[in-house]
Each structure stands twice: as structure tokens, then as C-alpha cells.
Amino acid sequence: MATLEKFSEIWARACERKGGPAIVNSLLPDTLSAEEISEYSDAQLLSVISKRVFQSGFVWRVVDNKWPAYEKAFFDFEPMKVLMLSPDQIQQRASDPTLIRHQKKTQAIVDNAYMIQQINAEQGSFAEFIANWPTDDITGLWQVLKKRGARLGGNTGPYFLRAIGKDTFLLSQDVQAYLTAHKVVDAGFTSKTALRQTQAAFNHWQQESGKSLAEISRVISLGVGDNRV
């Protein structure tokens, strides 16, 4: 792995491309404290997880427009109520024209409700489990969501965490392009080696800059490629 570029250089490049520090600062994402994240209800978390699953590979606007119908069809995403759905009821929802016809993503709502209930049983609170996970091992939390949840691999799990305010970087196309070009990683991004190398780099930049992982991720994106944020 190559010597890491200083974050001050990454920051300067983003500022040059976007028009100065004030503009870059205005584009940085917010994160919540552990205390704030721990206040989420299971239903709120299941709703966000499910929306991110459906948005993956789909037009986000369509999912947003249909989400009130999902809230109604899945009992406001209360996990215990979702888990009471019979296979026939799940199939009916998967073929409902007012929703999105996708069997596997519909089943994922139920499977992720089960994940939440299991982690509650083991840890006492799914929200607190997420809130208290250390950000210097955020890719470890990605792996838990991927392994124990349904359809939460790739960027879906990280996008869920970002949506609820948990500090995490994202492996967007621009961030991946930067990490590859600067030889920060020497393996495929789905590998544990690449995730470990990426985590180490972001931990270094965080200690250097005092910024959150989410902010660092955004600054990298603003300084390279097509500026997808």
C-alpha cells in the first residue's frame, strides 16, 4: 500500500474544484451522536433499512413515492407485526401493484425484522448496538449487517447507516476511484483485505483532521471524478 496523501492536500483539492472552503463545508454530511441514534425505535430502523434495500438498483424517487403505501402494508414496520405475516400475505404484498413487485426485496423486510429481533434478544437494543459500535471499525458493522441481515451487502448497509446519522464513509464510485488511483488498496473492494486497508486509511485521516468519516468521504468525492455525492 502506498504512502497516504495528507488530508490537507485532499481538502485543498476539493476546495479548488468546488470554489472554496465555505462551499465544501456546506456540502458536508451531518452525523448524530450515539445518544441520538440510540433513541430510534425498531420500527424506524426497519423502515430505513427496507427503503435502502428497495432503493438499491432502483429509482429512488419511485421508492420514496411508494413508501407511504409500504408503511401501511407493513404495519408501520413494527418488527413483531411484520414477523406475523404468513407466506401467503408476504406473496400478496410482493405482487401488489401499489407497491414494488419484487419477491426477494419484499421477503427482505421480514428477514431484517427477524435480524432486529435477534440482536435485541442478544444485545438488549438494536439501536444501541448500532449507536455504540466504534467508528474506527465501521466496516466491521458493515459485515455484521451483511451477514445477519438480508440484501445489506455492498453499499446498502453503509447507506442505511448514513441515513440514520451513524458516522461512516461510503465506497462511492469516486471514493473507490481515489483509493485505487492512490494505491490505498491492493485488492477488490468486496474483500476483507480492501476493507481493512480502507478503514485504516480513513482512521488515519480522521486522526489527522478531526473530521468525521462521513465528512472525509464526502471531501474525497468532491475532489475527484464526477463529484458524485
Instruction: Say if residue 32's pLDDT is above 90.
Output: yes
82 by Cβ neighbours in 10 Å (0-12 / 13-18 / 19+) ranks as buried
Q: How far apart are CA 115 and CA 130, in angstroms?
A: 13
2 has a pLDDT exceeding 80: no
Q: Which pLDDT does position 132 carry in this prediction? A: 98
CATH number belonging to the domain at 35-163, selected among 1.10.340.30, 3.20.20.70, 3.30.465.10, 2.60.40.10: 1.10.340.30
- pLDDT (average), residues 97-124: 98
Average pLDDT (166-179) is: 96
Query: Mean pLDDT across the stretch 41-50?
Result: 98
pLDDT, mean over the chain:
96
Band (3; pLDDT cuts 50, 70, 90): confident
The CA distance from 117 to 111, in Å, is 10
In terms of Cα–Cα distance, which of 171, 212, 218 is closest to 34? 212
- Closest C-alpha to 1, from 200, 227, 203, 212: 200
- Angstrom distances, CA of residue 20 to CA of 12, 145, 211: 9, 37, 17
| The residue to which cell 451487502 is assigned | 153
> How confident is the model over 69-93, as pLDDT tens digits?
999 999 999 999 999 999 999 999 9
pTM for this structure? 0.95
pLDDT of residue 227: 60
- Given a cut of 70, whether residue 109 has pLDDT beyond it is yes
pLDDT tens readout for residues 116-168: 999 999 999 999 999 999 999 999 999 999 999 999 999 999 999 999 999 99
Distance CA 88, CA 110 (A): 13
Q: Is the pLDDT of residue 228 over 90?
A: no
Buried b (16+ CB within 10 A) or exposed e, 143-156: bbbbeebbbbeebb
Task: Flag whether pLDDT at 229 surpasses 80.
Answer: no
Interval 20-47 mean pLDDT = 98
> With 60 as the cut, is the pLDDT of residue 1 above it?
no
What residue segments make up the domains of the chain, in order of their start? 7-31+169-222, 35-163
pLDDT band at 226 (very low <50, low <70, confident <90, very high): low
